[in-house]
Amino acid sequence: MTTLAAALAASDGRAAGPTADEAGAPAVRVRGVRREFAGRAVLAGIDLDIAPGEFVALLGRSGSGKSTLLRILAGLDPDATGHATVPDRNAVVFQDPRLLPWARVLDNVALGLKGKGARAAAGAALAEVGLGGHERAWPATLSGGEAQRAALARALVRSPGLLLLDEPFGALDALTRIRMHTLLRDLCRRHRPAVLLVTHDVDEAILLADRVLVLTDGRLSLDEPVRLAEARHRSDREFGALRARLLAELGVTDDETDGETGEEMSIETDVGAE
């Protein structure tokens, strides 16, 4: 089998004016991706397409291999096998914002950008995530939500064809998380990257995504389109039905969700703990 590193081909999923052959081509195309650790297959043959501009959420129990798949798509794992075609520009946001403590916020966002307009673009990205005025702040002075906004700005200023998010809101309090959902949805509508969001939060997945995947035993065991209006409400019957399907696939029993109601569920339904 061809190693993934050799097969990783860059395709700009955002490129304007694709040729006839490229029209309709997915931004991400994954075939037969495998990853073993010490002889144990964590990913046992993943097939996945993500269309340009499509928002896909990935759920799975803790240790199921979500971050492993995300790292492979980010080009950070040379030891995976299989085939993956990804856009030539991608950006990753992790749960930890990973800002350099010795660089001011603007410099963190502009880090690695080339050209005269880099700092102006970084400033515009900060304004877009609501951090205008914090350009000269040190990362240590930001709240958790602000730091994660800066991490989003740093990702978006690179105009990624693929935005990879690994539990980006997992460390935030519930109210901040709700605000970040709105911000992320708005940013994605404006910039239209293909998105893969890894999350433990079933409601977060349904609120944000066009499609929700579940990773079980090394394979994508469920691939569900979210057929809900743009304005999504947890109290909608369809929302509840999809939540129930996803929780069942994740092996979360009724006993585990008993006593949790609408709003609480959105915040606390965490499938990570085993």
Site residues (CB under 5 A) for Mg ion? Answer: 67
Indicate the DSSP class of residue 141.
G
The option from Mg ion, ligand ATP, none interacting with 13 (CB < 5 to 8 A, set by class) reads none
Q: Are strands 162-166 and 90-93 parallel, antiparallel or unpaired?
A: parallel
SS3 26: coil
Which residue's CB atom is positioned nearest to Mg ion? 67
Asked if 154 and 90 count as a contact pair (C-beta separation under 8 A), the reply is no
Element (H, E) at 216: strand 211-216
Burial of 88 (0-12, 13-18, 19+ CB in 10 A): middle
Q: How far is the CB of 10 from ligand ATP (least distance, A)?
A: 24
The option from ligand ATP, Mg ion, none interacting with 64 (CB < 5 to 8 A, set by class) reads ligand ATP
d(CA 9, CA 82): 12
| Between 146 and 166, CB nearer to ligand ATP | 166
The option from ligand ATP, Mg ion, none interacting with 102 (CB < 5 to 8 A, set by class) reads none
d(CA 248, CA 183): 29
| Between 67 and 81, CB nearer to Mg ion | 67
| Between 144 and 272, CB nearer to ligand ATP | 272
The option from Mg ion, ligand ATP, none interacting with 199 (CB < 5 to 8 A, set by class) reads none
| Between 67 and 85, CB nearer to Mg ion | 67
Residues lying near ligand ATP in the complex (CB under 6 A): 37, 42, 60, 62-68, 272
